[in-house]
């Protein structure tokens, strides 16, 4: 079903490669994210092939070692501040480089959606908003308000991005973990009444 030469091979081949990089449990999450991303893409008139590829690859690097990520930051001369963070931040921002090099996916909109899927960003394409939301509201997710935000994502996509960011930030504050500056910039852009 892939016709655009973004990935050299079929969806089945991509699924094969992603499944080999992940535990069964995380791979099932990835398939549920794809299902939700395709539904949101149809609703918001985003290309289904882009949504499928972005969703299938968004957590591709999640199970890589810290050493792998640090090596990649060095190799690609990424922002030096990244070394101060960890897997939660790296698997999207740095993981996109692994998707590019190892899976041969060079489509910048897809790579940016992967980079932004955990923290969001001030500027997000509709594809990026869809991946950010699909990761959060896929059928296996269960948290207070999930039904509300699922409905919102199909009613007002940008508002749902703001909803997620505000709720994630609130949760992170209760955990007393470090807040990635990009998460705060996303909050200021998408969650604050203007
Ligand atoms: P997953 O890869 O499907 O589990 O989901 P995500 O990539 O969206 O998120 C990974 C983890 O990063 C989640 O536990 C988030 O709560 C966490 N996270 C998101 N933003 C931040 C942040 O600013 N700081 C920290 N420390 N963690 C964050
Ligand atoms: Fe993730
Ligand atoms: Fe997410
Ligand atoms: Fe995910």
ipTM: 0.98
Please compute the mean of the pLDDT values over residues 81-98 and round it to a whole number: 98
User: Cα of 30 to ligand 4 centre, how many Å?
Assistant: 6
Q: Which residues surround ligand 3, an ion (CB under 5 A)?
A: 135
Q: How far is CA 62 from the centre of its chain?
A: 11
| Domain residue ranges in the chain | 11-190
Whether 135 lines ligand 1, by a CB cut-off of 6 Å, is: yes
pLDDT of residue 158: 98
Q: What pLDDT does residue 39 have?
A: 98
- pLDDT tens digits along 52-80: 999 999 999 999 999 999 999 999 999 99
183 close to ligand 1 (CB < 6 Angstrom): yes
Q: Is any ligand 1 atom within 6 A of the Cβ of residue 59? A: yes
Q: Residue 33: is its pLDDT beyond 90?
A: yes
Summarize pLDDT for 135-173 with one digit per residue, the tens.
Answer: 999 999 999 999 999 999 999 999 999 999 999 999 999
CA-closest residue to ligand 1 atom 16 = 168
Cα-to-centroid distance, 34 and ligand 3 (Å):
13
The whole-number average pLDDT for the span 97-122 is 98
Of 23, 22, 55, which Cα lies nearest the Cα of 38? 55
Q: What one-character-per-residue DSSP string does 30-62 give?
A: HHHHHHHHHHHHHHTT--HHHHHHHHHHTTTTT
Q: Contact, 18 vs 52, CB < 8 A?
A: no
Q: What pLDDT shows up at residue 73?
A: 98
Check residue 107 and give its pLDDT: 98
CA 75 to ligand 3 centroid distance, Å: 26
> Above 90 in pLDDT, residue 193?
yes
Q: What is the pLDDT of residue 1?
A: 85
Fold of the domain spanning 11-190: Hypothetical protein af1432 (1.10.3210)
Q: Is the CB of 52 under 6 A from ligand 1?
A: no
Residue range 118-143: mean pLDDT, rounded = 98
Name which residue sits closest to atom 17 of ligand 1, judged by CA: 88
- Please check the confidence at residue 30 and state whether its pLDDT lies above 90: yes
Q: Is pLDDT above 90 for 194?
A: no
Ligand 3 mean position to 118 CA, how many Å? Answer: 4
Q: Please count the other Cβ atoms lying within 10 Å of the Cβ belonging to residue 2.
A: 17
- State in Å: Cα 92 to ligand 3 middle: 10
Nearest CA to 89 out of 67, 110, 111, 114 is that of 114
């Amino acid at each position: 079903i892939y016709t655009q030469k973004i990935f050299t091979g079929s969806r089945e081949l991509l699924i094969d490669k992603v499944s080999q990089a992940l535990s069964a449990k995380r791979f099932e999450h990835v398939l549920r994210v794809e299902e939700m991303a395709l539904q949101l893409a149809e609703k918001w008139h985003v290309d289904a092939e882009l949504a499928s590829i972005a969703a299938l690859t968004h957590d591709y690097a999640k199970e890589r070692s810290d050493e792998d990520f640090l090596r990649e930051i060095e190799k690609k001369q990424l922002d030096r501040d990244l070394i101060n963070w960890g897997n939660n931040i790296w698997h999207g921002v740095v993981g996109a480089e692994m998707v590019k090099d190892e899976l041969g996916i060079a489509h910048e909109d897809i790579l940016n959606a992967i980079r932004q899927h955990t923290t969001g960003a001030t500027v997000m394409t509709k594809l990026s908003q869809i991946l950010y939301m699909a990761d959060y509201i896929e059928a296996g997710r269960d948290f207070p308000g999930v039904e509300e935000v699922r409905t919102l994502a199909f009613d007002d996509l940008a508002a749902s991005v703001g909803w997620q960011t505000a709720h994630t930030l609130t949760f992170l504050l209760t955990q007393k973990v470090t807040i990635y500056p990009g998460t705060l910039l996303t909050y200021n852009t998408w969650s604050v009444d203007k």
